[in-house]
Amino acid sequence: MRSNYLKKYPDSDLEEKELIQRLKNPESKRIAFHSLVRIYQRKVYALVRKMVIDHSEADDVTQEVFLKVWLHLDGFKENSRLYTWIYRIATNECLAYLRKKRIRFFLPIGDVEQQLITSLERQNYISGDEIESKLQKALLKLPDKQRLVFNLKYYEDLSYEDMAEITQTSIGALKASYHLAVKKIENSLMSD
């Protein structure tokens, strides 16, 4: 099933082109941007939350994503779709945030994983599914970029073409990364 909900706007009747036109117009820019935030906030937050785990950190990163969207709106080229452009900013922001976190606390990769797992265990969950919990922990053992690829494919249900546009990576490399991630997760789930 393809992610058709991303091509249309679930919360608005505005078509993407119309929204972009309003974003380019200085008079309607702020109102249009408010619509954009309302349309994409849940998707961006979900993507960020899966990467940084903690809600308050996800909140900060999500806000930064939309601020960057605002700052770079004038540079948006209409040859790419709005949602892939926003996702690209979001993925870059997540990876940069995790990288900075390691640098700031001089943390080795293993310690960051452990910190994320601890954070994961502290969270309130909607799902009480034990396997889902194990899946989330297994995901945290993956390298950040591989985890990102898995999340985009598995949870966001994006096509490899869109993922290639978002991550600026070849489709072949993405397929390999995803399948490797799946294998690691399955092994992790079976070993527990």
Partner 1 sequence: MKHENHSKRLEQRERKDYFAIPEGYFDELPIKIMERLPVSRESKAWNQLWFWQLSGSLFLTAVLLIGYWLIPTQMPLNAESLLAEVPREAIIEYIQNQGIGTDEIMENISLEEVEFDEVYLLHDVGPFFDKKNIDRLLEQYQTTDELLQ
For partner 1, the binding residues (CB under 8 A) are: 26, 29-30, 33-34, 37-38, 41-42, 45-46, 49-50, 53, 55, 59, 62-63, 66-67, 70-71, 123-127, 129, 131-133, 135-136, 154-155, 179, 182-183, 185-186
> Whole-number minimum distance, CB 67 to partner 1, in Å?
6
CB contact at 8 A, 55 and 49? yes
Among 73, 101, 105, 92, smallest CA distance to 145 is for 92
- How near is the Cβ of 6 to partner 1 at its closest, in Å? 15
Smallest gap from Cβ 155 to partner 1, in A, equals 6
With respect to partner 1, which residue has the nearer C-beta, 168 or 192? 192
CA distance 9 to 29: 18
CB 104 to partner 1: min, Å: 22
Evaluate whether 75 touches 58 at the Cβ level (below 8 Å): no
Tell me the chain's radius of gyration from C-alpha atoms.
Answer: 17
Cα–Cα distances (Å) from 171 to 167, 176, 181, in that order, read 10, 9, 15
Please report how close the Cβ of residue 176 comes to partner 1 at its closest, in angstroms: 11
* Of 46 and 95, CB closest to partner 1: 46
DSSP annotation of 47 reads H
User: Rounded to the nearest whole angstrom, what is the least distance from the CB of residue 58 to partner 1 in the complex?
Assistant: 8
Q: Which of 10/108 has CB closer to partner 1?
A: 10
Nearer to partner 1, 105 or 125 (CB): 125
Nearer to partner 1, 62 or 177 (CB): 62
Give the C-alpha separation, 140 to 131, whole Å.
Answer: 14
Q: Would residue 168 be called left, alpha or beta, if left means φ above 0 and alpha means ψ between -120 and 50 degrees?
A: left
Query: What is the spatial distance between Cα 16 and Cα 83, in angstroms, rounded to a whole number?
Result: 9
